[in-house]
Structure 1
């Protein structure tokens, strides 16, 4: 299986959420014990926004459709780390027309860390 690479440029300033998997037990005296959970303990989630004409937005949409929400793709995050990600949902918004009279669209999607293709 050949992994595709997502190379489309998003709007600036995306904010990524980094979450660590932690198991914890709370004892009656207030003591809490914590330990990391699993080999891949860090999960990343990146909400991304893309703006463009229908041709560009449709190319991105077709990329997501090929991966159907569960097939991983390669993507370099805004902090320059290459990894595997999936995209389960996306939203397309009609934005009106630009100065040339061409219809413009916005596509919002969230990329989540995947640990296998």
Structure 2
């Protein structure tokens, strides 16, 4: 399995979700139960800016090669190595040949 070796710009953010089953009763009571042994997931959003050919294009090529379905390793800003996927990205031009790519890396098991 390949490793995504690119560092995101400062300001990356993480959204953590827990997989839970809920059963709502008529009296307003809600019963909740944790689902599975890996019910906690992270999704990191971040950007990387730089020269198109040397910074942005290699990231695009890496993500495209994994086709949004094949997982890869990535060391998140907390320093923890996990498996992630990236289903897509957006690119915007900043100035001249200076570009920014925005990614969402979702943890998988």
Query: Shorter-chain TM-score category?
Result: over 0.9
- Partner residue, 1:72: 71
- Partner residue, 2:41: 43
Q: What is the SS of the residue equivalent to 2:58?
A: helix
* Alignment length (residue pairs): 108
Deviation, structure 1 residue 13: 2.0
- Partner residue, 2:9: 11
Q: What is the SS of the residue equivalent to 1:29?
A: coil
Instruction: Name the structure where strand makes up a greater proportion of residues.
Output: 2
Unaligned runs of 5+ in 2: none
TM-score, normalisation: structure 1: 0.88
- Partner residue, 1:91: 90
Distance in 2, Cα, partners of 1:42 & 1:84: 13
- Partner residue, 1:30: 28
Distance in 2, Cα, partners of 1:30 & 1:65: 47
Distance in 1, Cα, partners of 2:73 & 2:65: 14
Q: What is the SS of the residue equivalent to 1:92?
A: strand
Deviations 1:22-43 (A, max 9, x none): 0011112222111001222012
What root-mean-square deviation, in Å, do the aligned CA atoms of Structure 1 and Structure 2 show? 1.0
Is 1:20 matched with 2:18?
A: yes
Structure 1 outlier segments of 4+, above 3 Å: none
TM-score, normalisation: structure 2: 0.94
